[in-house]
Structure 1
Amino acid sequence: MTNTLTPPVAVPKPTELTTHGHTRIDPYYYLNDRENPDVINYLNAENDYLEQVLAPVKEFREALFTEMKNRIKEQDESVPYKDGDYFYYSRFEVGGEYPVLCRKKGSLTAAEDVIFDCNALAAGHDYYNLGGYEISDNDELAAFGEDTVSRRNYTLRIKNLATGEIYPESIPNTEGGSYAWAADNKHLFYILRDQQTLLGYQVYRHELGTDPAQDVLVYEEQDNQFYMGLYRMKSKKYIAIVSDHNGVSTEYQLLNASEPTAPFTTFYPRERGHEYSLEHFQDTFYIRTNDEAENFRLMAVTEGKQADKANWQEVIAHRPDVYLEQMEVFANHLVLGERREGLVQLRVINQQTREEHYLDFGEPAYDAGISVNADFNTNVLRFGYSSLTTPGSTFDYNMDSREKTLLKQQEVLGDFDRTNYVSERIYATARDGAQVPVSIVYRKDTPRDGSAPLLQYAYGSYGYSIDPTFSSTRLSLLNRGFIYAIAHIRGGQEMGRRWYEDGKMLKKRNTFTDFVDCSEHLIKAGYTRTDRLFAMGGSAGGLLMGAVINLRPDLYKGVVAAVPFVDVVTTMLDESIPLTTGEFEEWGNPKQKVYYDYMLSYSPYDNVEAKAYPNLLVTTGLHDSQVQYWEPAKWVAKLRTLKTDNNQLLLHTNMEAGHGGASGRFQALKDIALDFAFVLNLMGIRN
């Protein structure tokens, strides 16, 4: 589809960037100044241009939004879970963009206690996110974080749940949800974020009713390559600070929650190459560790003896073909979330009899995960399940009788019938022989002769696995004849830890070539053709999109790149940009020439050439804290000057949002409607 409208042009202002004696010329470096009115004008002009190009499908976009919205049950409620004396749940009201967070004491027939009405809290804000909350041991206080900008800087507040009063304490720039109460219901711990790196780096102790300026610094992370977390462990005995160097090492600091003014102590000191996570029960720590175990194994150690690894006893041995991903400890049972051949399996072990079994899910492609299980003294496991054809479901599972009870399945309004859809799991052979899983879904009446359009999605970074889950919005594509495929490429962790290691650092190009090889396999297998193949990815998956269209621009009809990380070299050289230092173990540090040269070989922005590119929709958010808006803006500006085709090149900047897009359950659908309208329009589908 050609375009006769005149796109906006960013004025080139060349900047020389020299590293290791090599000079790059960046004509759009200045776009990183969001305070410059010329930059804002350019972004607005791009938004206007997008609306002009897509004007013929304006009503279709609105219809898609309405269609997707109408599948959602507006008045809905989650399955309650019990924690202490209360049952906790969330519900949505008709017309409500945000959840109402509630609880009931003692039984589900008790009176409802509204903890937070996020609709009321969001009033007057273009963006709102309640980043999590923590309840004190006496059940009377809730610590919660609010973000009204979408920079993931949360302001910590405290609410008295008995009176409804929100206390005057207001602590800005905290990590949302990383809060922990001490057992005295008076001391609260939180993480403060560095405003240059946007990394959490300090843990403070706040005493209720005092001036936050007097809060006590209890821990500071000295290495800005580590990410931090803070939480109260399931046993409630310990407060844990977790420092994690992405894919490299871990360290826990622990504090007895009944001694809030005591110092935190190190559980086991950080070692390069050693990652671990903890669960605590009675007098024992369970340790999921990669010590001498690439795919992790499970160890146990008695409290106070953890400093010597000789005291760690093996509970579950390492297996080269199984990745140990989750664990949940009960009084009489141990539940493990394991990943084998790309699929999650739940393994139940009776700790008294040592009998064990796996849950059977009976579908070729699915996702399952351990849910909220706050009680140790139970034989019932709460877990979640979803597949490409099965809406999200919550189950209770009796680990002794093996009886499975469906508590709730996501209701899809309209004429949805899961038997009208087919899911498959196939393997594509990568150019080096690796077998890459691909999960596929389509309507059963969709032709398999290559004539169907297909949207291929992937992520492929940080060891983050993209599991084949249900999406009611995706039905808008499937019902119009599209096939949807998820390529489980290297860089994720679907096939175990080696799958991740082979898709990062100096092996990152495997991620991109895997995606291309999956595309070619789908074409050869008769799922689609080049003139109807589309690709989509976001964030690091947006980097994937940029690299793929530089490698094989001829292979795709159109591409959607959401909040794409495309200016890899410049960003990773600039430690003043948020999150850069924490990424060195994912991409490499370009201050070392070997990594500089390798990054430069695939960085999408640096490798734009004078050639034909597919139709391209690029989306970003002005306040994005993860991938700064100027990366996609610069990329689009450079593509405009060099590409030789007449295909669509569109940039949409959400001027009020950040990395996750719009807040609110319905407003976010407008972003999806834009993506889908772009893709469908290119196939001539406009209703």
Structure 2
Amino acid sequence: MIAPAAAAPRALDRTVATPLPTRRSASRTVHGDTAVTSYGWLRDQHSPETVAHLIAENAYTDHRTAHLDGRRSTLLQELTGSDRDVDLSAPVHSGGWWYIDRPTTAGGGSTGADLSSDASLSRVRATVAPELRTVPVVRDGVPLEGEEVLIVDRRMVVGLALSTDHDLLARADASVGGCDITVVDLSTGEVVDRAVQQAGPDLAFSRDSRWIFYTQLDDIGRRHQVRRHRLGTPAAADEIVVVESDHWAELSLARSRDTSALLISSVSTTASETWLLDLDDPTGAAVSVTGRHHGVHQVIEHAGDRLLAIRQGEVGGSVLSVAPLTDTEGLADAIPLLTAAEGEQFDAVEAFEGFVALQVRSGGLPGVWILPRLTDGSFDIAALRAVDHGGELDALHLDANPSWSQRTLRYRLDSLRTPATIAQLDVATGETEVLRRAATPGIDLGRYLERRLWATSADGTRVPISLLARHDVATDGTAPGILYGEGAFGTSNDPRLLPGALALADRGLVVAVAHVRGGGEMGRDWHRRGRLLHKANSFDDFVACAEHLVSQGWVAQDRLGALGQGSGGLLVAASANRAPDRFRAIVAGAPLVDPLETLLDPEVMLTLEEWAEWGDPAGDEQIYRRLRSYSPAENIRATEYPAVFAWTSLDHQEVLAAEAAIWVAALRARATSDPQERPVLLRCVPTAAADASALQAESMAWLLDQLEVPEVSH
């Protein structure tokens, strides 16, 4: 049994030896290239030898971090639960009702805490009282007049749908092999139907409320079919509406905001297609309105009497177009409305009776644009405007806006120094109302500044950096700093307030996030240019961001740490191989640092998304050689390296614990750094989720110590 990281390490004898696993050479020949590995036996994490080695690693880490007891305990108190994303909401108006998420305990009582996934769903009629004709103020534990609870505990509910008349509620509850679908009559509480099982989370009612549409899962959990189910009949009688045979693609469905149509979408990394089905004719056929497009990602929105389409090319650029509802020839009659400028991308479009809302990315940040509609339903391009709060790192995301006729638009605002905020814009007047803001007790946000910086990568590409620091930190090249990165799967690491980051800034650190290629911050092309054969761009970008922080005086050259987790662990480890002198210390959590061996191992189960991101080295020689050139464990040089703190867990599904163990062993064998000044440590715990706060506190305490950051007094 591997002992978990403790909040207070025990003092160990100073003779604790550095773990040095036995080198057992093994030859690997792929595509004519022969490589010799030494620590592959550690991949059998259940063998007695591997278990003994990981126990020795933990003992050594305990020994080398024993002096950090006080700092670790302080950080544990500050960081516990602080960096979880705030699930913030306010009552949502739809169909003459206000729908309300309320925080609950497992027993249904109020916690008085911020809303979380552990919440009930209730509603109250908007006409019950005059004060309910505008957004009602909800107080935890205090029900509104006439409020009725629809779902006591939403923890296992992953999908919801309401009938057009709001009399029926369909819910998808997570279960073994998929979701169980339950339909309830809200007026009586009676269960109307629970025939469908092992389904996806997508649900939509027909207009007459007699049918429900859902996605069906295949044997690997992919949503490969859309089916229709007549309430009260056996699921075996359900008909298939659309089937997706491409194993890289997955289906989703949504009802149009005016309730007239069902939109079915198929999306993969390389192609997309959208179908429409008339919900007044629920037994009718779904008609493809786009055809199958390869190399182009399309987003289709039903806008009442016409269609809106966003087309995003793989090599950049996106266009918003309008097309007639009757266009079934791949949108051949579509007319362009807006074309994204350089550095912009249109991500989503939501249509309402009186306006259109665009979710955009510009300058690496998400934003919201408003496009008013004229009385004939056309679009007033001259009146296009952005929702603006004036912050340098403001991140705006569209929130719940379910009503076709609504005259307001709800969105969420975040930044590195702005608490999560739900706001509502009056489209006609431009007035903004804050509906709810996350509490930040005891935090003086005026102490901090945030900046958008731009580094220049090796090929001339400008790379955005988000930066947080105290106002009084001088840009004279003396401050310590941390550079964080992810850069994979097209994920956008958008700014949000993290009390853990503020705690580091309080200690005088400059906290920076490198938005490198491989992520999605600058659009789909940004992702394309940092995956597969182009993955090396991610490492060049990260090194360039580190150099920019130093050259601009934000961080001292010998006091910069790097931080990454999962694919971010790959990023910081590969960047250290390229430029080991740029970083003083590295923290890598559950790091993907032996990716070539993992991708070549037939015993490791990988997702379609992972194959699309890294490639198949066994079947593609170019992919093999590219991975061979950057796999951190296989490219360590005989030179000085940063100090390293790696942590991993035995239960991690995406990255084996062996990857960190192999990388650490290879570093100790090759790096010429003084192990007393720049130790290489490994912490292995049974479960990452259970030990998350302790791991974060321990790794940050170690990093602060390596960067010579004095402890704060309380």
- TM-score relative to the length of structure 2: 0.81
Conserved? CA contact 2:304–2:353, under 8 Å: no
Deviations 1:274-312 (A, max 9, x none): 210111122322111136993211112222313243211
**Distance in 1 (alpha carbons) for counterparts of 2:43 and 2:258:** 47
What does 1:303-382 align with in structure 2 at a 5 Å threshold? 303-352=325-374, 353-354=380-381, 355-382=383-410
How far did residue 679 of structure 1 move?
A: 1.8
Q: Indicate the residue corresponding to 2:131 in structure 1.
A: none
Paired residue for 2:474?
A: 447
The CA distance in 2 between the partners of 1:53 and 1:286, in whole Å, is 60
| Aligned twin of 1:135 | 161
Pairwise mapping of residues 632-643 of structure 1 onto structure 2 (< 5 A)?
Answer: 632-643=660-671
1:655 to 682, 686, 690: 686
8 Å contact from structure 2 (residues 192, 232) kept in 1 = no
Aligned: 1:223 with 2:223: no
Post-superposition shift, 1:41? Answer: 5.8
1:432 — aligned with what? 459
- State the match for 1:386 in structure 2: 414
Q: Does structure 1 retain, via aligned residues, the 8 Å contact 2:581–2:641?
A: yes
Residue 392 of structure 1, CA deviation: 1.4
CA positional deviation for 1:601:
0.9
Contact map agreement 1:73 1:411 (CA 8 A) in 2:
no
User: Is structure 2 residue 217 aligned with structure 1 residue 192?
Assistant: yes
**What's the offset of the Cα at 1:372?**
1.3
> Equivalent residue of 2:539, what SS?
helix
SS of 2:633's equivalent in the other structure is: coil
Please list the CA deviations of residues 242-288 of structure 1 after superposition, one character each: whole Å capped at 9, or x if unmatched: 33222x22123444456566554433232321210111122322111
Q: 1:403 aligns with which of 419, 431, 436?
A: 431
Q: Give 2:67's match in structure 1, choosing from 56, 70, 81.
A: 56
Q: Secondary structure at the match of 2:632?
A: coil
Distance 2:668 2:702 in 1: 18
Residue 28 of structure 1 and its aligned partner are, at CA, apart by: 4.1
Displacement of 1:133 after TM fit? 2.5
CA shift for structure 1 position 467: 2.2
Distance 1:204 1:308, change over 3 A: closer
Contact between 1:380 and 1:398, CA under 8 Å: does it hold in 2? yes
Quote how far apart the aligned CAs of 1:235 are.
4.0
* Counterpart among 440, 444, 450 of residue 412 in structure 1: 440
Structure 2: gaps spanning 5 or more residues: 1-13, 105-110, 127-135, 137-143, 375-379
Whole-angstrom CA distance in 2 between matches of 1:398 and 1:439: 30
Tell which deviates more after alignment, 568-577 or 466-475.
Answer: 568-577
- AA at the equivalent of 2:76: F
Query: SS at 1:474's partner residue?
Result: helix
Say whether residues 1:88 and 2:100 are aligned partners: yes
1:100 matched residue in structure 2 = 119
Kindly report which structure 2 residues correspond to 1:2-151, keeping only aligned pairs within 5 A, or say none: 5-8=16-19, 10=21, 14-33=25-44, 39=50, 42-43=53-54, 46-47=57-58, 49-69=60-80, 78-84=89-95, 85-91=97-103, 93=111, 99-107=118-126, 108=136, 109-115=144-150, 130=156, 132-137=158-163, 138=166, 140-146=168-174
Identity of aligned residues (%): 28
Distance 1:213 1:31 in 2: 48
User: 1: CA distance between counterparts of 2:289 and 2:245?
Assistant: 18
Aligned 8 A contact 1:82 1:88 in 2: no
Cα gap change, 1:302 to 1:516, in 2 (>3 Å): same
- The corresponding residue for 2:483 is 456
Q: Which has the larger radius of gyration?
A: 2
1:467 aligns with 2:489: no
TM-score by length of 1: 0.84
The Cα of 1:169 is off from its aligned counterpart by 6.8
Q: How does 1:552-631 map to 2 (within 5 A)?
A: 552-573=579-600, 577-590=604-617, 591-631=619-659
CA apart distance, 1:317: 2.9
Rate the CA distance shift 1:28–1:450 in 2: closer, same or farther, 3 A. same
Alpha-carbon distance in structure 2 between the residues aligned to 1:74 and 1:548: 28
Q: 1:592 to 1:379 in 2, by over 3 A?
A: same
1:499 aligned onto 2:526: yes
- Tell me if 1:681 matches 2:705: yes
Query: Does the 8 Å contact 1:71/1:412 carry over to 2?
Result: no
| 1:421 equivalent in structure 2 | 448
Are residues 549 and 260 of structure 1, via their aligned partners in 2, closer, same or farther at CA, if it must alter by over 3 Å? farther
Secondary structure, aligned partner of 1:56: helix
Q: Alpha-carbon deviations, 1:36-77, whole Å to 9, x = none?
A: 565556556545554454343345333323224597999997
Task: Give the SS at the match of 1:635.
Answer: helix
Query: Within 1, Cα distance between the matches of 2:369 and 2:696?
Result: 36
Cα shift at 1:397:
0.6
Instruction: Name the CA shift for 1:653/1:445 in 2 (closer, same or farther; >3 Å).
Output: same
Of the structure 1 ranges 614-623 and 541-550, higher mean CA displacement relative to structure 2 is found in: 614-623
Q: How far apart are the structure 2 equivalents of 1:194 and 1:389?
A: 44
Q: From the superposition, tell whether residues 300 and 603 of structure 1 become closer, same or farther in structure 2 (CA, over 3 Å).
A: same
Q: Name the aligned partner's letter for residue 300 of structure 2.
A: L
Match of 2:557 among 522, 530, 545: 530
Partner of 2:311: 289
Equivalent residue for 1:252, pick from 262, 274, 281: 274
- Give me the whole-angstrom Cα distance separating, in 2, the residues matched to 1:62 and 1:514: 35
Q: Distance in 2 between matches of 1:544 and 1:20?
A: 26
Cα deviation per residue 1:303-349 (whole Å; 9 max; x = unaligned)? 23132432112222343342222322111111223333323342212
1:345 and 1:530 mapped to 2: Cα distance?
Answer: 34
1:363–1:648: structure 2 CA closer, same or farther, 3 Å change rule?
A: same
Deviations 1:363-418 (A, max 9, x none): 2222112111111212211111122221111111111111111112211111x122
- Alpha-carbon contact 1:454-1:534 (below 8 Å) kept: yes
- The structure showing larger relative contact order (alpha-carbon pairs under 8 Å, at least 6 residues apart) is 1
**SS of match in other structure, 1:561:** strand
Deviation at 1:653, TM superposition (A): 4.3
Instruction: Assess if the C-alpha contact under 8 Å between 2:408 and 2:424 holds in 1.
Output: yes
Moved more, 109-118 or 308-317: 109-118
How far is the alpha carbon of 1:603 from its aligned partner? 1.6
CA distance in 2, matches of 1:582, 1:189: 23
- Quick one: structure 1 residues 386 and 606, their matched pair in 2 at CA, closer, same or farther if it must change by over 3 Å? same
Deviation at 1:231, TM superposition (A): 4.0
Q: Secondary structure at the match of 2:572?
A: helix
Q: Secondary structure at the match of 1:290?
A: strand
SS in 1 for 2:332: helix
* Deviating more after overlay: 343-352 vs 200-209: 200-209
**Pairing 1:507-526 to 2, within 5 Å after superposition:** 507-526=534-553
Unaligned runs of 5+ in 1: 122-128
